[in-house]
A and B are shown apart, each in its own frame.
Chain A
Amino acid sequence: MHNNIHNTLNFPAMDIKIKKGLDLKLVGGIENPKNACAGLKAVEGVCALCPEDFPGFKPKTSIKEGTLVNAGDAVLYNKDYETMALASPIDGKVRAVVRGDRRRILRVEIEPAKVDPATEQTGILDNADAQATVDVLASKGLLARFRERPYDVVPTAGVCKVRDIYVICFDSAPLAVDPAECVEGTEVEKRLAGGLEILSRLTDGKVYLAVRAGSSFAAIAERIAAGGKGIEVLSVAGLYPSSLPGSLISATAPLNKGERVWSLDLTTALRIGELKACGHYSFENTVAVVGYEVEKPFYAKACDGMSIKALVNGHLKKSPEHKRIISGNVFTGVSESEDGYLRFPYRQLTIIPEGDDKDEFMGWASLAPSKVSVNRSFPLSFMRKIFNPDARLNGGRRAMIMSGEYERYIPMDILPEYLIKAILAKDVEGMEKLGIYEVAPEDFALAEFADTSKLPLQQIVRDGLDYLRKELE
């Protein structure tokens, strides 16, 4: 104990306070989350890998329907980066390789089946240099879970060292599972320390470990940082989007042109540690099934890419109203049907009313406190603490009229409105000047929520990043 305190004093965490943002409380949260995630039984079902969730990953596969795979076997490869794979999350049989336009692979579905156990390979990460480490992580399906800035894509081929690495251990999105809340025990600390050691090989800068200020996990993080090399704890206070890498990069060392940083979540870091220790890793994760349309919101233990049917399994409200099943949170998730799958980053299903079957008479004039708004022109909503939103845009798309709306919700030193305009104008020089390398679509999620003009900001940024990448390569 004494030792811990000593270390904490020697290696103070960097305190980061993110002032801009919003803590939007939604109905349908889990009561008493700490207890709810203890002792869960794993859900079983078909799992799918959707390469679409990994921007920059151009999928190809030689695998056929009916092939048996072990959990951890590579199923999809990246055409631009041959060693980078996406791995099967379960032991099973490939049920389908679903393709879309021009035979683009939409997803690979794997159903559980009995297969011969895989041979264990331990020590694969011992004494590996940066390149060898990256190769292992890539082939084991872990590198694809990293995000690289600029461009918000999977790591680029040939890159084995980046400026800094950000490991995010909390989630400030509405109704999110805090990944740090659902992991416990001494094993976790050892795994994470192992994972961070591996990550520190991949940068000459720092491995930042971002934790929620004051959380119980912060103490663990500080202990690990004290025992490791090049690891710095970021003790983050603030509302959403304080858990987004963009906000944290901006608060520590904003990205310059020509630099690269990687970001990953706690789960991935733990898996790297597990891979180092055991030669394989578990694909299980704690998933929150939340939102107004869930009878009693709950946690479930499930493998990556679990089928939504298996996950919700009759827990949805039986109302005839249309529902929107969001794989992820309400700000950055993917809308899926009930036949869909849990999508990367595999931590949350949010089910809210769709709202397209509702008639609201003169909604724009309403003074009802139930209106979802953080704008002061809805005075009663403004005093409200918890909302029940649906998926409607609540208005028509317009040109940018109001000014200063985006800045309020983007904690970065950029001028979002001008960046968006430069992207829309396909002005490469303008985009560079205004900081496109620093942003990802998710950084604009809150601004998109609050936007009077209902512009698709995240899509605009995604298109801008893709365009720029194509232009400059």
Chain B
Amino acid sequence: MARLRQYLDKIKPQFEPGGRFQALHSVFDGFETFLYSPRTTSAARYTTHIHDSIDSKRTMTIVIMALLPCFVFGMYNIGYQHWLAAGLEPSGHFWEELFYGFLTVLPRLVVSYVVGLGIEFIVAQKKHEEIQEGFLVTGILIPMICPPEISLWMLAVATAFSVIFAKEVFGGTGYNLLNVALVTRAFLFFAYPAHMSGDKVFVATGQPFGFGPAVPDGFTCATPLGQISQGTFDITGVGSHAISTWDAFLGLMPGCMGETSTLFILVGGLLLMLAGIASWRVMLTVFAGALCMGWVANIFATPTYPMASVEPFQQLLYGGLAFAAVFMATDPVTSARTSKGKYIYGFLTGVVAVLIRTYNNGYPEGAMLAVLLMNCFAPLIDWCIVEANARRRLARLVRSQK
């Protein structure tokens, strides 16, 4: 390890202003602080001389760790669905299915990271700042919330769009108004609707790098939410296999990679809560909001809106709601930031998500739009809480002058 340090010290001057690679200063700095904790120490006065070891890198790493169970299961499920689609018995091929999923996801993960981090590096260098870690999470989220075989170029365009227009123009990590990963998805959703919804896109049918069994042409399979919105309540998966509630909880059904398994999402959510990284206030209230709205919809169910007829808890099993509750709504930058505001924000996110998916026949899923909508409202919610605090202060002043 000492040798690595020596090597870094040796090449460091070349990346400093005036050096041969000064244009890559931020990149070098990013790698150096990744490998070795920075030696920066506290100022001399009006400062706290000691600091907690928690930093932005640690925070983001924990989120990625929390995403991993979903990620691994998602890869397996891609393979599992593919095997079903090929008309083969999926059990007994665990490693092949996992590997198939891995090969399917890998190019998308690479594209997402290369495009997103590339832009981050350039911007950091231009602004002479350190590279910020926000995209480490966004980069893994993007392939997890898109259909498994989304075109690489579409993904690249969407990622570039969202990193530039949803984040960097606002000032970078910590200043964005909307969740960057969801903006990527929303961009794809509205720009290339045929590739983002319907019966064809949620099961991987290709053979990445020539691997995996072939799937017959013209294969289609609707997602559970798609089926319910058409009034089909006996949900079936690929090859007309019935999807039980347990399957849905486990996640063995077609869908975006990260969103299908409520079980592994909850495992990730638990980790985030234990580590104190994501807000339990938001997480729980999104679920509460969704259940409440699901319950209300269920009471007033009509055949016009088939989605209203499902049991409230099923709202959490299908589609992306659970994933949105645990990993999207809890994004600390774009969610409400005051403690009380978080309850309101989370609850409304859950309500709006179910509201959209139930009463808008055009969109079988509402989690993405709900989170984005509530991202826009989060500053307003916080404003109300902040004003209440200010009013309390003012009232105290008035009282004291009486």
Binding site for B on A (CB under 8 A): 52, 254, 256-259, 324, 326, 330-335, 350, 352, 354-366, 371-379, 381, 389-404, 407, 413-415, 417-418, 433-435, 441, 445-446, 448-454, 456-459, 462
Q: Which 5 residue pairs across A and B have the least CB separation, nearest first?
A: A395-B55, A399-B174, A363-B37, A403-B337, A364-B57
Q: Which residues of A contact B394 (CB under 8 A)?
A: 433
The distance in angstroms between the C-alpha atoms of A434 and B54, with both chains bound, is 28
Evaluate whether A393 and B389 lie within 8 angstroms (CB atoms) in the complex, with A376-B275, A401-B174 already known: no
Are the C-beta atoms of B46 and A358 separated by less than 8 Å?
no
Instruction: State which residues 100-141 of B face A: CB under 8 Å.
Output: 130, 132, 134
Are the C-beta atoms of B390 and A377 separated by less than 8 Å?
no
The distance in angstroms between the C-alpha atoms of A256 and B333, with both chains bound, is 32
Are the C-beta atoms of B55 and A358 separated by less than 8 Å?
no
Q: Which residues of B contact A360 (CB under 8 A)?
A: 36-37
Evaluate whether A377 and B62 lie within 8 angstroms (CB atoms) in the complex, with A400-B174, A401-B333, A453-B56 already known: yes
Evaluate whether A374 and B52 lie within 8 angstroms (CB atoms) in the complex, with A356-B39, A394-B37 already known: yes
Are the C-beta atoms of B39 and A392 separated by less than 8 Å?
yes
Are the C-beta atoms of B53 and A376 separated by less than 8 Å?
no
Evaluate whether A361 and B276 lie within 8 angstroms (CB atoms) in the complex, with A394-B52, A395-B56, A413-B389 already known: no
Are the C-beta atoms of B41 and A401 separated by less than 8 Å?
no
Task: Classify the interface of chain A: helix, strand, loop or mixed.
Answer: loop
Q: Which residues of B contact A401 (CB under 8 A)?
A: 56, 59, 134, 173-174, 332-333
- B38 touches A (CB below 8 Å): yes
Are the C-beta atoms of A396 and B33 separated by less than 8 Å?
yes
Q: Which residues of B contact A448 (CB under 8 A)?
A: 47-48, 51
Are the C-beta atoms of A435 and B393 separated by less than 8 Å?
yes
Which residue of B2, B39, B173, B386 is within 8 Å of A415 (Cβ)?
B386
The distance in angstroms between the C-alpha atoms of A297 and B61, with both chains bound, is 39
Expressed in whole angstroms, the minimum distance between the Cβ of A222 and any Cβ of chain B is 28
Q: Which residues of A contact B209 (CB under 8 A)?
A: none
Q: Which residues of B contact A376 (CB under 8 A)?
A: 274-276
Expressed in whole angstroms, the minimum distance between the Cβ of B334 and any Cβ of chain A is 10
Are the C-beta atoms of B400 and A391 separated by less than 8 Å?
no
Q: Which residues of A contact B386 (CB under 8 A)?
A: 415, 418, 434
Name the CB-closest residue of B to A333. B49
Evaluate whether A399 and B171 lie within 8 angstroms (CB atoms) in the complex, with A413-B392, A449-B50, A462-B46 already known: yes
Binding site for A on B (CB under 8 A): 1-2, 4-5, 33-59, 61-62, 130, 132, 134, 171-175, 274-277, 279, 332-333, 335-339, 342, 382, 385-386, 389-390, 392-394, 396-397, 400
Expressed in whole angstroms, the minimum distance between the Cβ of A17 and any Cβ of chain B is 20
A–B pairs, 22, beta carbons within 8 Å: A256-B400, A324-B41, A331-B48, A335-B45, A356-B39, A356-B40, A363-B37, A375-B54, A377-B276, A389-B51, A391-B49, A394-B54, A395-B38, A395-B51, A395-B54, A395-B57, A400-B174, A402-B59, A404-B342, A413-B392, A433-B390, A458-B47
Evaluate whether A452 and B56 lie within 8 angstroms (CB atoms) in the complex, with A361-B1, A398-B174 already known: yes
Are the C-beta atoms of B38 and A256 separated by less than 8 Å?
no
The distance in angstroms between the C-alpha atoms of A320 and B390, with both chains bound, is 52
Expressed in whole angstroms, the minimum distance between the Cβ of A364 and any Cβ of chain B is 4
Name the CB-closest residue of B to A253. B400
Are the C-beta atoms of A399 and B175 separated by less than 8 Å?
yes
Q: Which residues of B contact A459 (CB under 8 A)?
A: 43, 46-47
The distance in angstroms between the C-alpha atoms of A158 and B257, with both chains bound, is 71
The distance in angstroms between the C-alpha atoms of A400 and B56, with both chains bound, is 10
Which residue of A375, A396, A397, A398 is within 8 Å of B53 (Cβ)?
A375
Q: Which residues of A contact B53 (CB under 8 A)?
A: 363-364, 366, 371-373, 375, 378, 381, 394-395
Other A-B contacts than A454-B55, A458-B46, 11 sampled, CB-CB below 8 A, are: A331-B49, A335-B45, A361-B36, A378-B53, A398-B174, A401-B173, A404-B338, A407-B339, A435-B389, A452-B54, A454-B51
Expressed in whole angstroms, the minimum distance between the Cβ of B172 and any Cβ of chain A is 7
Expressed in whole angstroms, the minimum distance between the Cβ of A153 and any Cβ of chain B is 14
Q: Which residues of B contact A407 (CB under 8 A)?
A: 339
Are the C-beta atoms of B51 and A449 separated by less than 8 Å?
yes
Name the CB-closest residue of B to A335. B44
Q: Which residues of B contact A395 (CB under 8 A)?
A: 37-38, 51, 53-58
Evaluate whether A396 and B275 lie within 8 angstroms (CB atoms) in the complex, with A403-B337, A407-B339, A448-B47 already known: no
Expressed in whole angstroms, the minimum distance between the Cβ of B243 and any Cβ of chain A is 36
